[in-house]
Structure 1
Amino acid sequence: MAPERPATLAERWSAAFPDALAAWSPYTRLKAPLLLDTSKAAAAEGLTGSFAMIRLVDQTVVIDLQQVRELGIQDYAVEVLAHEIGHHVYAPASITDHTRSLARMLPALPTVTQHAPMIANLYTDLLINDRLMRSAGLRMPELMQAVVAGNQRGKPSKLWILYLRIYELLWGMERGSLCGKALPPREPRQPAIVAGSRSGQASARIAQDDAADASSSNALDIEVDARLASRLVRHHARHWLAGVGRFAVLVLPYLIEDAKAGERLQTLMDTKDAGRGGQPEGMTDMDPEEFEDIRHPGADDALADDAPVDGDPGKTGKPGQSKAKSGTGQARDPFQYGELLRLAGLTLDAQDAAIRYYGERARPYLVPFPSLPAQHSEDPLPEGLDPWEAGDPIDQIDWRESLVLSPVPIPGLTTVQRR
């Protein structure tokens, strides 16, 4: 008898998909992932730079198995697939929320708005991985250690070190378990207070100047920022959209200091083109939350040690409660609309963006095509017919229908009555 052929990597990962779905809920349903053996085949599906990605337009998970082998994470199928499923069912979950998160993040990233998709990706990854580790008991720390060991792209930046340190704090890992000995000496600094207000450009300049001062004085305190970010992730776990702007303010100095801060992080970018081929709705109008002042997490009382967790309003009001200023209902201009969609992963030129913009703006004012009202008969609709048997009241015979059946009525055979 011939020996049984060992399962291929694609077969093993395909078999792990039901367990990955169950990590979120026994009722979670999603189409089977695309498991591609080569990076060339993955590139044909739009996956480049990372070993995995999602497509929100058709709810698809795409995996580059060649990069999986190169990173040495072949044994973490459930963890990787569950993470990608999390982008579909948790954050961002839909192309509309994906685009809305970018819109809330843009005011907090003056001059570096091109990095908004990367920062949104990092933020949702933190939320998903922390939930899978705590609620589903998956081996997310081991997966991150394997990714760190296998990812040698570029030079580790302070943003990369910050990102890994956040995981160490979230999961109670020993300092340096992920980021190694790359943590610089602690040099505390005073965080920025306000950034990204839509009321004017002053707050954006404050955030940028604060970041520049921190960079010039070499006072980026990764440890303090990592602790603030870990509290931010836990506090906004249920209402994740409420924390995107604050997370962007936190990492802004790292982006301004190092133009290549995200080079090594590209391996983890699985939502940068998540909106490709889709059509987010309602993006011509700004959300009320976009007019709020985006506070640095260090100046946010909700993230204090004694603050209530997300879902327990306590003294801070309802989670995600809007404190929008006047200006609600303001619309974006066509240029802002096009830039936002391009950041979400859509491939549009200026003309296509303008067509979508004005089409969405005009849709509420469309007049229905005129139609003539249909004439309704007031005569009662006749009911069905039943046989009339001998012994039934003779006045109940429907003679018209009976004679239609036979010109010679035969009682009990061709006679009928109304129901």
Structure 2
Amino acid sequence: MSDAARASDSLDALRDAWLAVWPEASTVFSRFTRLRSPIFCLTKADEEREGLVGSFAMIRLLDLSVVISLRQVRERKLERFAREILAHEVGHHVHAPGNLRDQARLLARVRFGLGANLHKHAPMVANLYADLLLNDRLARSAGLDMAGVYAALKVPDPDPLWTFYMRTYERLWGLRTGTLGREELPASIELDADLAARIVRIFRSRWLEGAPSFARIVREYLLKAEVEQKAPQLGGWLDTTLVDGGDEIPDGLVE
């Protein structure tokens, strides 16, 4: 058997394993959730066809399709996190943002917090905020190993934004500094991470209200990156199609 054939068989087996987890993962947030089975991409061509760009997983809010690149899952050694990743994607439909209307409201609030000169970053910041809300709920209420996912995605030399973001998760989950990001941090990042964690907890059930405050924290990191002419360094899991130039919000949905 050729290497290509063995790789294909391996991905087929991985697809079967993840499909077996889907019924449980899709109902972590609510037992009433009803979504079609995920679309599993085995090749780069599959990913391009489905519009999966800059991430190994996403949910398309327009048609509520969960799309997973098993090729990237294997490359990133995420095979054992099927329940975590699938439940997270479903959470974007069930909890945050939930639908295109609330996504539009979220983007509007994030733009307000960022200021006019940083509006182009609003989709990314909205996704980072929504992911914090979802992952904290999945870790604390459902007992899922969301920290394990980010440990597997650990960036070797993270920039200040990603360092702040990972430290926020460490604060939320009581993890030792350096578990997900850098071990040595400036006091400013510690303070920002503490504030972001408080925003996530305080506004967990009315998350739209907390979006501008989170965006104001991120704003300073984006301004610094622009001065240094550096693109934000992210961990490869930006999973709503509005983040990377995908589906635009239909007219009339923004308040």
TM value normalised by structure 1: 0.55
- SS of 1:258's equivalent in the other structure is helix
User: Aligned in 2, Cα 1:54/1:280: closer, same or farther, shift over 3 Å?
Assistant: farther
Map residues 227-306 of structure 1 onto 2, 5 A cutoff: 227-259=194-226, 260-265=230-235, 267-273=236-242, 276=247, 279=250, 281-283=252-254, 287=255
In structure 2, C-alpha distance between the alignment counterparts of 1:116 and 1:272, rounded to whole Å = 13
- SS of 2:80's equivalent in the other structure is coil
Residue 31 of structure 1, CA deviation: 1.1
Map residues 2-401 of structure 1 onto 2, 5 A cutoff: 8-110=13-115, 111-148=117-154, 151=155, 155-181=157-183, 183-186=184-187, 221-259=188-226, 260-265=230-235, 267-273=236-242, 276=247, 279=250, 281-283=252-254, 287=255
In structure 2, C-alpha distance between the alignment counterparts of 1:279 and 1:225, rounded to whole Å = 34
In structure 1, C-alpha distance between the alignment counterparts of 2:204 and 2:248, rounded to whole Å = 28
Does the 8 Å CA contact 2:113/2:211 hold for their aligned counterparts? no
Residue 264 of structure 1, CA deviation: 2.7
Does the 8 Å CA contact 1:53/1:270 hold for their aligned counterparts? yes
In structure 2, C-alpha distance between the alignment counterparts of 1:26 and 1:159, rounded to whole Å = 36
Task: Render the CA deviation track for 1:352-392: whole Å, top value 9, x for unaligned.
Answer: xxxxxxxxxxxxxxxxxxxxxxxxxxxxxxxxxxxxxxxxx
Does the 8 Å CA contact 2:158/2:182 hold for their aligned counterparts? no
Structure 1 residue identity aligned to 2:217: L
In structure 2, C-alpha distance between the alignment counterparts of 1:37 and 1:224, rounded to whole Å = 42
Find the counterpart in structure 1 of residue 3 from structure 2. Answer: none
Does the 8 Å CA contact 2:167/2:177 hold for their aligned counterparts? yes
In structure 2, C-alpha distance between the alignment counterparts of 1:145 and 1:245, rounded to whole Å = 28
In structure 1, C-alpha distance between the alignment counterparts of 2:202 and 2:251, rounded to whole Å = 27
Structure 1 residue identity aligned to 2:192: D
User: Aligned in 2, Cα 1:262/1:237: closer, same or farther, shift over 3 Å?
Assistant: same
Does the 8 Å CA contact 1:99/1:280 hold for their aligned counterparts? no
Residue 282 of structure 1, CA deviation: 3.8
- SS of 2:111's equivalent in the other structure is helix
Task: Render the CA deviation track for 1:33-91: whole Å, top value 9, x for unaligned.
Answer: 10111122111111111101111111111111111111110110010000000001100
In structure 1, C-alpha distance between the alignment counterparts of 2:213 and 2:124, rounded to whole Å = 15
In structure 2, C-alpha distance between the alignment counterparts of 1:54 and 1:104, rounded to whole Å = 21
TM value normalised by structure 2: 0.88
Task: Render the CA deviation track for 1:290-328: whole Å, top value 9, x for unaligned.
Answer: xxxxxxxxxxxxxxxxxxxxxxxxxxxxxxxxxxxxxxx
User: Aligned in 2, Cα 1:261/1:278: closer, same or farther, shift over 3 Å?
Assistant: closer
In structure 1, C-alpha distance between the alignment counterparts of 2:35 and 2:146, rounded to whole Å = 21
In structure 2, C-alpha distance between the alignment counterparts of 1:11 and 1:41, rounded to whole Å = 17
* 4+ long deviations beyond 4 Å: none
User: Aligned in 2, Cα 1:278/1:231: closer, same or farther, shift over 3 Å?
Assistant: closer
- SS of 2:66's equivalent in the other structure is strand
Give unmatched runs, 5+ long, in structure 1.
187-220, 288-419
Residue 245 of structure 1, CA deviation: 0.6
In structure 1, C-alpha distance between the alignment counterparts of 2:253 and 2:175, rounded to whole Å = 42
Structure 2 residue identity aligned to 1:128: L
Does the 8 Å CA contact 2:167/2:190 hold for their aligned counterparts? yes
Aligned residues, how many? 240
In structure 1, C-alpha distance between the alignment counterparts of 2:205 and 2:168, rounded to whole Å = 18
Does the 8 Å CA contact 2:100/2:253 hold for their aligned counterparts? no
Residue 272 of structure 1, CA deviation: 4.3
Residue 174 of structure 1, CA deviation: 1.1
The structure with more radius of gyration: 1
Structure 1 residue identity aligned to 2:194: R
Structure 2 residue identity aligned to 1:126: L
In structure 1, C-alpha distance between the alignment counterparts of 2:217 and 2:199, rounded to whole Å = 10
Find the counterpart in structure 2 of residue 361 from structure 1. Answer: none
Higher mean displacement: 107-116 or 85-94: 107-116
User: Aligned in 2, Cα 1:278/1:117: closer, same or farther, shift over 3 Å?
Assistant: closer
Structure 2 residue identity aligned to 1:162: F
Q: Report 1 or 2 for greater relative contact order, CA contacts < 8 Å, sequence distance ≥ 6.
A: 2
- SS of 2:67's equivalent in the other structure is strand
Does the 8 Å CA contact 1:105/1:248 hold for their aligned counterparts? yes
In structure 1, C-alpha distance between the alignment counterparts of 2:64 and 2:22, rounded to whole Å = 14
Higher mean displacement: 71-80 or 38-47: 38-47
Does the 8 Å CA contact 2:60/2:241 hold for their aligned counterparts? no
Residue 180 of structure 1, CA deviation: 3.1
